[in-house]
Amino acid sequence: MTRPREAYAELQARPEPTTLLGALARGPLRMSLAIGAAVAFLNGGHLGPARVLPAVVCWSFVPLPRLAGLALVAALLAGRGRTTARVIDLYGAGQGPWYVWLLGLSLAAVLHPGLRPSVFSLRPGDVVFTLILAAVIAWSVVVRLAFFRVVLGLSAARARLAVLLSGALFWSAIAAYWLASDQLLPRIQ
């Protein structure tokens, strides 16, 4: 995570047979479980099947726009047929910044049970939360750039475009979900 280009080059050089099911389990399904666990900690301060399973199911859509963005960008910028099981597996390996953030958020929820952070608030704790989230997003962009450069072999300009396109698709999907579930507008107003 600290040297993503070198890490991707090393991972790509390892001849590991990857099935699509294995790639999905290591990437999107693991991310759904991590989000579910973080939500369970935020909502109840502990893990248990009654808290984790509904949260995992509720937030299981999050990896889907990530994969859709990867497939779209790979087809547009690297050529059709580039979204293989191995590429999905390596893309999932780049979720480290988000795992660190979810772990930190979960730890904060356990240490401070009343924690209810908001990006749209001006309370001092929320400003810190927002700054940390911005740092994680920036860190994630660096990792994504390395992925597109090393794994898909894109030029620097195309890698930047790939990050922008896949990020726009992902964040648009998240905003659409919040709007459709009537959760975003009350937070802004």
Residue 61 tokens, joined? 């859509």
Give helix then strand counts, H and E, for the chain. 10, 0
Residue 178 lies in a domain: yes
Instruction: Kindly report, residue by residue over 110-124, the tens digit of the pLDDT.
Output: 777 776 766 666 677
Domain count of the chain?
Answer: 1
In total, the chain counts a number of residues equal to: 189
Task: Inform me whether the pLDDT recorded for 2 exceeds 80.
Answer: yes
Residue 120 lies in a domain: yes
| Residue whose C-alpha is closest to residue 170's, from 162, 181, 182, 159 | 162
Task: Inform me whether the pLDDT recorded for 189 exceeds 60.
Answer: no
Residue type at 33 in one-letter notation: L
Instruction: Kindly report, residue by residue over 17-28, the tens digit of the pLDDT.
Output: 777 777 777 778
Helices 30-44 and 49-58, axial angle in degrees (round to 10)? 120
Residue 72 lies in a domain: yes
pTM for this prediction:
0.81
Tell me phi and psi for residue 139, to 5 degrees: -60, -40
Residue 10 lies in a domain: no
Residue 4 tokens, joined? 């993503």
Token pair 């979810």 in the structure block, residue: 102
Task: Inform me whether the pLDDT recorded for 185 exceeds 70.
Answer: no
Please state the rounded mean pLDDT for residues 142-159: 96
Residue 119 lies in a domain: yes
Tell me the C-alpha distance between 37 and 29, whole Å: 12
Boundaries of domain holding 135: 17-188
Residue 112 lies in a domain: yes
Instruction: Kindly report, residue by residue over 79-136, the tens digit of the pLDDT.
Output: 877 788 888 888 888 888 988 888 888 787 777 777 676 666 667 767 777 888 899 9
